[in-house]
Chains A and B, each alone.
Chain A
């Protein structure tokens, strides 16, 4: 079965600084990969996704992520964070099998704190 690891439970970044959130997955083939963001008291919003092709994917709100097969990683980056980026971030993996209807597997999340 596939799994997702987000090594950092909490990350604190100064406003205007760059950001990188780590995500590692375990799966025997190339998976589908996603990053979601959750603001307090809200549902999850899709930031970006990787299916195939270019390993650097662009998402909403100025985020990007890079798929590195050799490292089984899909790290999320942003060159300059804003206070409104403070939220919980989830990495998720889907497998390439059958109809894929069996759902995504999520990491446990990284809580991003923005310092003024």
Chain B
């Protein structure tokens, strides 16, 4: 989607290794979110940010950490990847709050082997 880029688009990693996913936006939006999408579960919120250095946990935050040192970048880190973290990860941004709707990135497909 225009204005929001996720990298990498695909990644295969081994169990126990650290992994960092990047979300980059050019919209200067305040709010950024990380979701994971799994079959039968829809989208579940991992972490979100409401400003630089301001982050909080979502529904499924165990095993994940985030950082936001600049408005445009929101990083999601799996400290020690596990097979249960194999998923598609989506970043979303919003210029006000989540209640005004998101713009989603195209997703990162992560496979942990």
Chain A residues engaging chain B, CB cutoff 8 angstroms: 32, 34, 36, 42-46, 49, 51, 90, 94-96, 99-109
CB contact between B104 and one of A44, A105, A107, A109 (< 8 Å): that residue: A44
Given A42-B106, A46-B101; A103-B33 close (CB under 8 Å): yes
Contact of A100 with B98 in the complex, beta carbons under 8 Å: yes
Tell me whether A43 and B97 are in contact (CB under 8 A): no
Query: Taking chain A's interface residues, is the majority helix, strand, or loop, or is none over half, making it mixed?
Result: loop
B64 close to A (CB within 8 Å): no
CA distance A46 to B33 in the complex (A): 16
Interface residue from A32, A34, A102, A109 paired with B42 (Cβ < 8 Å): A109
Of the candidates B97, B99, B100, B105, the one having the most CB atoms from chain A within 10 angstroms of its own CB is: B99
Contacts across chains A and B counted by CB atoms under 8 Å: 65
Asked if A34 meets B101 with Cβ closer than 8 Å, knowing A102-B48, A107-B42, A109-B42, the reply is yes
- Residues on B close to A: CB < 8 A? 1, 31, 33, 35, 40-45, 48, 50, 56, 58, 90, 92, 97-107
Q: What's the nearest-Cβ distance from chain A to residue B95, in Å?
A: 12
CB nearest neighbor in B for A47: B101
Beyond A32-B99, A100-B99, A103-B48, whether A90 also contacts B106 by CB under 8 A is: no
**Interface residue from A44, A90, A94, A108 paired with B99 (Cβ < 8 Å):** A94
Q: Is the CB of B101 within 8 A of A103?
A: no
26 A-B interface contacts by CB (under 8 A) = A36-B104, A42-B106, A43-B105, A43-B107, A44-B104, A45-B104, A49-B100, A90-B42, A94-B98, A95-B99, A96-B99, A99-B97, A101-B50, A101-B97, A101-B98, A102-B56, A103-B48, A103-B58, A103-B98, A104-B45, A104-B98, A104-B99, A104-B102, A106-B42, A106-B43, A107-B42
